[in-house]
Copies of this chain bind each other. A is one copy, B any other.
Amino acid sequence: MPSAKDMSLNTATVREQWNLRQCIEGAARHGLGGIAPWRDKLAELGAKEAARMIADNGLVVTGLCRGGMFTRDGKVSQAALDDNKSAVDEAVTIGAACLVMVVGGLEPGSKDLGSAHRFVEEGLAKTLDYARAAGMPVAIEPLHPMYAADRACVSTMRQALDICDRLGPGIGVACDVYHTWWDFELEAQIARAGKDRLMAYHVCDWLVPTTDLLLDRGMMGDGVIDLPRIRSWVEKAGFTGLQEVEIFSAQNWWKRDPDEVLATIVERAAIC
């Protein structure tokens, strides 16, 4: 049964309440095993200082959120590639298990999903060259299909792994239950990913009803996702990392005392 030490705090979960320093100290105080910073919070603190604090507090880094967004300029721009290289460097500095990629949606003003797919694969391939040299694994995070237009046109594990098959070593997937729980072939695709390509595992819950497409994720146990079952598939595939808790919740968890949020994560670890 998982416990606090098996969980990692994605800073998005308390992003409205805490800066990265507070997230690190909070995660350690509540006995969590790891942390996963977003880059805005990492920039505030500085990657080197963050790395020092994370090490001092005995936390692992389950991932850096996020690289990607390759379609934002209507082409794979140098600016986007440079930004992704910086993300790789930051991930190396803090010793992240992987750099998580939210690849980008349709190009601005475009309806051409096929073009977006091609740009994304080009951007991933170019970033991967740099990441391989830096020794940083790159994890494509398929996002829920409801984000295909504006955030990520990679929507399923199958699609992400097809890309990984083409791009070769050093790239894999971040499997977030919020984005993937509905997929009838999730078990098969997790098995297909295997130990080397299953680079991160994110948990939260799908609420019924969900009142907002972006900011109404649930705490584990409050929704309909069969977390122990999906965890069993992930473990069977050889994943030995922590469960990263990433909850976007404007009306509930972002309004609570962050120590209460972390205490709830600890309490719910057993049902994950």
Residues on A facing B (Cβ under 8 Å): 106, 111-113, 117, 144-146, 148-150, 153-156, 158-159, 162, 181-185, 206, 208-211, 213, 223-226
The listed residue (B117, B149, B159) touching A206 by CB distance below 8 A is B149
Task: From the candidates B145, B223, B226, name the one contacting A144 in the complex (CB within 8 A).
Answer: B145
- Asked if residues A149 and B224 are in contact (CB atoms below 8 Å), the reply is yes
Q: Which residues of B sit under 8 angstroms from A153, Cβ to Cβ? A: 182, 184
Contact of A183 among B112, B145, B146, B208 (CB under 8 A): B145
Copies of this chain present: 2
Chain B residue, CB-CB nearest to A227: B111
What are the residues of chain B within 8 A of A185 when measuring CB–CB?
Answer: 158-159
Contacts of A156 in B (CB 8 A): 183-184
Given contacts A146-B145, A146-B210, contact A106 B184 (CB under 8 A): no
* 8 extra interface residue pairs, beta carbon distance < 8 Å, beyond A145-B183, A155-B182: A111-B224, A113-B182, A113-B184, A146-B182, A149-B224, A150-B209, A155-B184, A156-B184
* Interface contact B106-A224, CB-CB below 8 Å: yes
Q: How far is the CB of A93 from chain B (nearest CB, A)?
A: 34
A145-B144, A149-B208 known; A184 vs B226 contact (CB < 8 Å): no
- Find A209's partner among B144, B162, B209, B213 (CB 8 Å cutoff): B213
Among B111, B162, B206, B213, point to the contact of A226 (Cβ < 8 A).
B111
Query: A211 — nearest CB in chain B belongs to which residue?
Result: B213
Could you pull out 10 A-B pairs where Cβ atoms are within 8 angstroms? A111-B226, A113-B184, A113-B226, A145-B145, A148-B182, A149-B206, A149-B208, A155-B182, A155-B184, A209-B213
A117 contacts which chain B residues (CB < 8 A)?
184
A226 to chain B, nearest CB (A): 4
Contact of B213 with A182 in the complex, beta carbons under 8 Å: no
How far is B207's CA from A150's CA once the two chains are assembled, in angstroms?
Answer: 10
Q: Given B148, B155, B225, which contacts A111 in the complex, CB threshold below 8 Å?
A: B225
Q: Are A208 and B150 in contact (CB under 8 A)?
A: yes
**Chain B positions within 8 Å of A159 at CB level:** 184-185
With A and B bound together, what is the CA distance between A159 and B159 in angstroms? Answer: 15
Nearest-CB distance from A229 to chain B (Å)? 8
